[in-house]
Copies of this chain bind each other. A is one copy, B any other.
């Protein structure tokens, strides 16, 4: 797969079938992930693949409750805002994301594979998320949809770490939980605020001189 197709179409793809992911495919995804850079090339990471039905069944209720808590705290203002103006473009987009996120919560146990990523001594996350994103891009090239969720780092973290047997006080931080599966929907380019609205040059607030009106992929 061409790099740009992967960069442009690896959007959060939560709705997947329960079809298992072959071991050789998992090996290719992980080998691509570990090529990512890390500070001082320290590779202070561990990847924990979870495909055991009982383990996933134990995680499911924790994940659902974590999502419930997220909706009623962090995302409460956005939900209220969307409810107040349901026809606004922002509201529709948010509701779409919310429904998709809730699908994963409701169907947590049907997803065939999860990848938990752990990092050591990486307060910023700059040494773990490139590897995680590489795994998601490599999965895209295999026709596998992924979604990065941090919600289990906010709620029920201790129970999750206990369940997965993560050693305590060894300095490992759970940085991500990524779902993997063959998608039921279609790949596409997600809508984004354009470059000119989020990019400055030399000083905060000054025009970058760049204007990109439409996504540059697929090539026209």
Q: List residues of A whose CB falls within 8 A of some B CB.
A: 1-8, 10-12, 23, 26-28, 30-32, 34-37, 39-41, 43, 45-52, 55, 75, 78, 93-94, 97, 101, 124-126, 128-130, 132-134, 136-138, 140-141, 147-148, 150, 153, 164-167, 175-176, 189-190, 192-195, 198-206, 208-212, 215-217
CB distance from A26 to the nearest CB of B (A): 6
Instruction: Establish whether residues A51 and B202, one from each chain, have CB atoms under 8 Å apart when the complex forms.
Output: yes
- Give A9's nearest chain B residue, CB to CB: B35
Q: At the interface, is chain A mostly helix, strand, loop or mixed? A: mixed
Instruction: Establish whether residues A201 and B49, one from each chain, have CB atoms under 8 Å apart when the complex forms.
Output: yes
A201-B21 Cα distance, complex, nearest whole Å: 14
In the complex, chain B residues whose CB is within 8 Å of the CB of A26: 208, 210
A57-B12 Cα distance, complex, nearest whole Å: 40
| Among candidates B37, B50, B150, residue contacting A39 with C-beta atoms closer than 8 Å | B150
Instruction: Establish whether residues A166 and B134, one from each chain, have CB atoms under 8 Å apart when the complex forms.
Output: no
In the complex, chain B residues whose CB is within 8 Å of the CB of A166: 204
- Give A135's nearest chain B residue, CB to CB: B7
CB distance from A152 to the nearest CB of B (A): 12
In the complex, chain B residues whose CB is within 8 Å of the CB of A28: 216
Given contacts A52-B201, A166-B204, 17 further A-B contacts (CB under 8 A): A3-B5, A4-B138, A7-B32, A32-B217, A35-B215, A37-B147, A41-B93, A46-B198, A47-B199, A47-B200, A47-B208, A48-B199, A49-B199, A55-B202, A55-B203, A133-B134, A164-B203
In the complex, chain B residues whose CB is within 8 Å of the CB of A211: 27
Known contacts A7-B134, A138-B4, A138-B7; A34 and B195 CB within 8 A of each other: yes
Instruction: Establish whether residues A40 and B75, one from each chain, have CB atoms under 8 Å apart when the complex forms.
Output: yes
